[in-house]
Amino acid sequence: MHRIGVLALDGVMPFELGIAARVFGAARDLEGNALYSVTTCSLDGLPVRTDADYRLAVGYDASVLAGMDTVVVPPSRDLGPIRTEGRLPDALRTALAAVRPGTRMVAICTGTYVLAAAGLLDGRPATTHWREADRLRRTFTRVRVDPDVLFVDDGDVLTSAGVAAGIDLCLHIVRRDHGSAIANDVARACVVPPWRDGGQAQYIRRPVPAPTAGGTAPTRAWILERLGEPVTLADMAAHAKVSVRTFTRRFRDEVGASPGRWLVQQRIERARYLLETTDWPVDTVAARAGLGTGASLRQHLRTAIGVSPHAYRRTFRAARPSPEALPRGAGHDGVAGEVGPVRSRGPVEEVHVP
C-alpha cells in the first residue's frame, strides 16, 4: 500500500488539509481494497492552529514522514519567514531533511512556498494560488512559476493552485498511479468532476464579458457524442448558430482553452479509457477516439503523459466492461460528460485533428 504523509503546519487551512485523506482514502482496487494509507502529522505531534476558530489534534509528529512514499504539504496562512524571506524554520528544515530521497513531494496552494524554500523547486516548473504567483516568483527566482494552470506535475514534485485545485491534483495522482477508471471512481465517490476545464486564468477577476444569448455547453455536449467523427471549428460554430469568431471567443471565455485544444484533450482521454478497458489494436483505439491513426495517438499520448499506448495499456489494464456497452459518446468513466486540459508534464499540442 502506498503511504501518504500530510504535514499540517500552524495556520493550516482545514479544507485543504482534508483533501488528501478524502481523495486518497476513497481510492479502492477492483476488490475494494484501499490503495493508499494517509497519515496526518504536525512538526511536534501537538495540536496545530488552523486559520479558522479551532485547533486540530493529530496523532503523529513529523518523524513519520521518513517512512512515507508521498508527502503532502497543505497551505498555511502563517508561513512567516518561509513566505517573506524564503527561509525554512529549523524544525521544518529538519523534518523535510529526514524525508527519504525519491519520495514524491506534493504541495497544495501556498504549500508550494515550503517546497521552494527547501530547494526542491529550483529550476523546475511550479504553480500556486494566482494571488501568490508574483510573490513566489520574486522570492524564489529559480522557480519557473506558471500562474495559469490548476496544477503542475514535474514527476517527483507536484504543485497545485488554490483550494479545489488541490482536489484536481490528488485525482491526477490517483490517475497517474492507477489509471483513469479508478480515478473516476474516486471522483464519483467525492462528487467532484474527474477533470476541470481550463486553468486559473478563468478564476482571476477581470472585466465581465457582455451577456450572450447562449453558452457553448450544448455544443460541447454535442461534440462529446461524436468524438470519433470529423468535427471542425466551422461545425462547432454552426451547431451553436454563431460565427466562428464569436464561438471561439465564447468558448475561450467559458472553458479557458481554444476549441481545438479542448477537442484534442477529450480525444486523448477517450483513447486512454479505451486502452485501459479493451484489447483493441492501437489503430482501432485511435480511430474510435477521433485521433486518426495509431501514429497520431502515439504522438499525442507521449506529448500529454510521456508514454506510448502500449506502455500505458500495460500499466493500467483493468477488468472493465467493454466500451461497446457504453452510451455513444460516453466519457472515460462511462458517463457522458466533459473533461478539460490541465498541465501535467507539458501542454497538449494543439493541432488539427480531422
Tell me the torsion sign for CA atoms 157, 162, 166, 168: negative
Span 138-195, pLDDT tens digits: 999 999 999 988 899 999 999 999 888 999 999 999 998 998 889 889 998 998 877 6
Residue 139: closest CA among 85, 88, 90: 85
Neighbours of 230 (CB within 10 A): 10
* Gap between the Cα atoms of 65 and 41, Å rounded: 8
Report whether pLDDT(207) > 60: no
Report whether pLDDT(347) > 70: no
* Backbone conformation region of residue 102, classed left if phi is above 0, alpha if psi is from -120 to 50, else beta: left
Percent of the chain with pLDDT over 70: 84
Helix (H, G, I), strand (E, B) or coil at 230: coil
In this structure, are residues 196 and 150 in contact, taking their beta carbons and an 8 Å threshold?
yes
* Gap between the Cα atoms of 335 and 102, Å rounded: 37
User: What local confidence, expressed as pLDDT, does residue 197 receive?
Assistant: 59
Report whether pLDDT(102) > 90: yes
Q: Which residues contact 57 (CB under 8 A, 6 or more apart)?
A: 47
Mean pLDDT of the 237-241 span: 94
User: What local confidence, expressed as pLDDT, does residue 179 receive?
Assistant: 86
Span 260-276, pLDDT tens digits: 999 998 999 889 889 98
User: What local confidence, expressed as pLDDT, does residue 198 receive?
Assistant: 57
Neighbours of 34 (CB within 10 A): 14
Span 266-317, pLDDT tens digits: 999 889 889 988 899 999 999 999 999 999 999 998 888 788 999 888 877 7
User: What local confidence, expressed as pLDDT, does residue 103 receive?
Assistant: 97
* Strands 55-56 and 2-7, bridge-based pairing: unpaired
What are the start-end ranges of the H helices in 201-293? 217-224, 233-240, 244-255, 259-277, 282-289
Q: What is the largest CA-CA distance in the chain?
A: 62
Mean pLDDT of the 39-68 span: 96
Alpha-carbon distance values, 201 to 297, 312, 339 (Å): 29, 31, 17
Rounded to 10 deg, the angle between the 233-240 and 217-224 helix axes is 130
Report whether pLDDT(235) > 50: yes
* Gap between the Cα atoms of 57 and 62, Å rounded: 14
Of 28-42, 205-219, 249-263, where does mean pLDDT reach its minimum? 205-219
pLDDT, the chain, mean? 85
